[in-house]
Structure formats: C-alpha cells, structure tokens
Structure 1
Amino acid sequence: MIDIYGYVRVSSTDQNEDRQMIALKNIDVPLKNIFIDKQSGKDFKRKNYQKLLEKLKSGDLLYISSIDRLGRNYEEIQKQWRILTKEIAIDICVLDMPLLDTRNGKDLMGTFIADLVLQILSFVAQNERENIKKRQAEGIAAAKTRGVKFGRPEKTVPNEFAKLAKEWEQKKITLEQVLEKCDISEATFYRRLRELRLINGK
C-alpha cells in the first residue's frame, strides 16, 4: 500500500509553519504523516526528518512545499534526493515547482529535466543561505562599529569588592560570603580579582 507523507521545515522555533501545513492539508496529506522540523537547513541531521526516512518505503509519495524546505546545502540536497528517489525509491512532489514531480516524465528526457532543475534550485537554496549569513555578519559588524554590545551585559560588582576580596585573601571571610554580598558568580569573582590584581600591579 502506498502512503502519502509531507515534510515541513522552518529555520527556528519562533517561525510559523502554517503556510506549509495549509498547502499539505489542501492536497489531503494525512496529519499523522506530516513531519515537522524547526531547525536550520544546513544539513539533514534533523530529528523528525530522520524519523520520516525510517517510515518511507518504496512507492510512497512525499510532498514538500519548496526545495529549500528540504535543505539549503547544495551537495546534501543532491545526496538526499538520490537516497529518496533511487535507494528508497519513493516519489517526490515539490509543490511550488511542478517540474520537480518524479511521478511525471520518468523517461530519460523527463529525468534529465528534473535533475537539471534540482541542481539549479538546490544551488539557489545554498546561495541564499550563504547570503543570509553574510548579511548577518555585516549587520553585526556595522552594529559593533556603532557601539552596540552583544551577549549578556557584564555583571557589575559593588564598590566594596576590593575590600571583600582582600578579606577573602586574608581568610577573614569565605568565598561564599563574598559571592553572596556581591551577588556574583564564582567565575565573575575570579575574573574581577584578576583585573583588580592587574590594576594593583600584583
């Protein structure tokens, strides 16, 4: 018996998969057969994609909304497409690209056209991923030149830190007491202590 499956991917947990889900429901893909990953498309080490591979068998049909939902790595897309269509021997239908429907044109010319389209689209998907990374890096660099700081704000220590640190060194108080009075972590304490010693020339 041939089963129909759908695969949905968004790049992060805060992105919405509704558009892809609606497209799959409109062609009557059973909800239980739709596998969703909220993860980057840089590779195929995705939990639900791997579960999908375990379910698929020869003759099944897999729907995806667009080739970049499958992945964004040129070589990996080509490899996975071969695994799906040749090794597992399923059919794939890419909804926004009718030429990428392996149920059609199974002759030599049809296969050639589908392979050519796949190569172009998978290249475009990877190129877009690299452009996104480049734009992000450029944006971060520009923000840093404007003085924008990234990461967690540096923990401030009270004015009496030097006095408390000296008392700790003299074993008058414990490290736990210093951490509690300054409301800092042990890592911050030792970092600030090193800075203090550098200032004092110790």
Structure 2
Amino acid sequence: MPLDIGYARVSTTKQDLDRQIDALRQEGIAAKRIYVDKKSGASTNRPGLHAALDQAREGDVIVVHTLDRLGRTVRDTLNLIHDLADRGVGVRNLADPIKVDSSNPEVKSLGVV
C-alpha cells in the first residue's frame, strides 16, 4: 500500500518546525512517517531527508510544506523530483503557490497542478 512520507526542514536550530509538521499531520501523515532536519539546504548531510528518501518505495509520495525544503536551488529540487519520479516516487507540496504533485498520473511534465 502506498504511503505518504512527510519531510520538514528549517535552516537553523533556532527555527521552529511546528508549522510544517502541523501541516503534514493535517494531511494525515503519522508522526512516525515525518522526517525532519534542522540544517541548511546547502548541506548535503541531511539525515532526515536521507531517511525519508530511503524509506520511499515505488508508489509512495514525499510530502513537503514547500518545495524549497527539499533543495537549496530550483535545479537541485527539480533534479530530486525527477530522480524520485524515475523510482516511481511522487512529490507533493502543500503551501507553494505553484502546486506540484508528481504522484498524479493525470498531470503531465513534473506534475504542476
């Protein structure tokens, strides 16, 4: 059965993850399936993201509050979405003005809704 896997990130340890985690929980994602990091997006050492990606199987969807939580740049983020799509894993964002849901087969390209 496909799973929604949540990922939340803030850039510093002084910032709060609550808003992102609350939004993921509102989507019905269980706390045990929400992975978090308090690290800059420029860092490649993001254990929460790596754990979420390792957990994701074909048919699963990585859900983020906003796409900038996934990568430092648009290119990094799009590359990650593309790599996940190659694995059969979708990506869905919750709060960006441009909605992305690459798990939706009805939507072409990168799943811009």
TM-score, normalised with respect to structure 1: 0.50
Aligned AA for 1:36?
V
Q: Give yes or no for the alignment of 1:94 onto 2:107.
A: no
Q: Which residue of 1 aligns with 2:32?
A: 32
Q: Which residue of 2 aligns with 1:51?
A: 51
Give a deviation string over 1:13-72, Cα, whole Å, max 9, x none.
Answer: 110011001101111101000000000012543111111111110001221000111122
Question: Any unmatched runs of 5+ in structure 1?
Answer: 118-202
Q: Which residue of 1 aligns with 2:4?
A: 4
Q: Cα gap change, 1:113/1:69 in structure 2, threshold over 3 Å: closer, same or farther?
A: closer
Q: Of the two structures, which has the highest relative contact order with CA contacts closer than 8 Å and spacing of 6 or more?
A: 2
TM-score, normalised with respect to structure 2: 0.86
Give a deviation string over 1:85-119, Cα, whole Å, max 9, x none.
Answer: 22x21121110146301233x35xx323736x8xx
Aligned AA for 1:50?
H
| CA-atom RMSD in angstroms | 2.0
Indicate the SS of the match to 2:12: coil
C-alpha distance in structure 2 between counterparts of 1:71 and 1:26, whole Å: 23
Aligned AA for 1:24?
L
Q: Name the % identity.
A: 29
Q: Cα gap change, 1:112/1:35 in structure 2, threshold over 3 Å: closer, same or farther?
A: same
**C-alpha contact 2:24 2:63 (8 A) present in aligned 1:** yes
**C-alpha contact 2:6 2:52 (8 A) present in aligned 1:** no
- Highest Rg: 1 or 2? 1
Q: Which residue of 2 aligns with 1:111?
A: 108
- Number of equivalences: 112
Aligned AA for 1:20?
Q
Indicate the SS of the match to 2:5: strand
Q: Which moved more, 1:21-30 or 1:42-51?
A: 42-51
C-alpha distance in structure 1 between counterparts of 2:109 and 2:76, whole Å: 19
Aligned AA for 1:95?
L
For residues 71-90 of structure 1, what are the structure 2 equivalents within 5 Å?
A: 71-86=71-86, 88-90=87-89
